[in-house]
Amino acid sequence: MVRINIGCGQTPTDGWKNFDNSFSLRLSRIPLIPDLLHRLRFLDSSQYQFIKFAREHDIEYGDATKGLPLTNESCEAIYSSHMLEHLDRNGADKFLKEAYRILRPNGIIRIAVPDIRKQIEQYNESGDADAFVEATHMCVPRPTSLAQKVRLLLVGTRHHQWMYDGYSLSRLLHKHGFIEAEVMPPRKTKFSEPGSLDLQERLSESVYVEARKPSA
């Protein structure tokens, strides 16, 4: 049995299998090309730094909307932080279908996403509509330079496709066959052995929901 962190970005978990599907991760497997693209400004500094980070931390490429290199019911725990909101509704359905496939019966899935309820509460307090829209990350500036246009073609957009609160995320998990979905307080989990997993990742903006796959 294995534990996996899907969409780990620059926060992989020691002792877990860590997957990410970024274009930068694919480039990290190709010698010299990242250096060339960075010099030509087709890769920005953050993408270039992630390539070096991925090489050092053995992050594996995997796209959960297309299928992960794992057998049925081979995982005891699945964790994903601030990845689901980057998928459209169709992509979210595919991800959760794949998560259900690889999770063993009674296994636990934990998902952290930006909490739109918190953002709405902040807007109600401040009345700043611009800050609210910016915080959702659902808009992306149009590319103007050639480098920006090529980067968009290669990497795609990284803005948010959907937003959730605890209730809507729990409902989505139930829709895909998981049971007992509930919002978890920071630092609390039903994982039997979370190890070094960050149970309060991006605390100020996140909501954490856990659910269980039914027994066979």
For residues 167 and 155, the model is more confident at: 167
Report domain extents, the chain. 2-21+62-212
Quick one: pLDDT band at residue 151, thresholds 50, 70, 90?
A: low
CATH 3.30.1330.30 fits 2-21+62-212, yes or no: no
Distance, in Å, from the CA atom of 12 to the CA atom of 198, rounded to the nearest integer, reads 10
Q: How far is CA 197 from CA 50, 55, 156, 172, 189, in A?
A: 20, 20, 29, 24, 10
For residue 143, pLDDT beyond 70: yes
41-90 residue pLDDT tens: 767 777 777 777 777 788 898 999 999 999 999 999 999 999 999 999 99
Name the CA dihedral angle for 138, 158, 10, 102, rounded to a multiple of 10 degrees: 90
Percent of the chain predicted with pLDDT > 90: 69
Phi/psi at 20 (5° precision)? -150, 155
3-state SS string for 62-107: CECCCECCCCCCCEEEEEEECCHHHCCHHHHHHHHHHHHHHEEEEE
The two tokens of residue 70 are 């794992």
pLDDT at residue 135, as a whole number: 94
88-99 residue pLDDT tens: 999 999 999 999
Cβ 147 vs Cβ 40: under 8 Å: yes
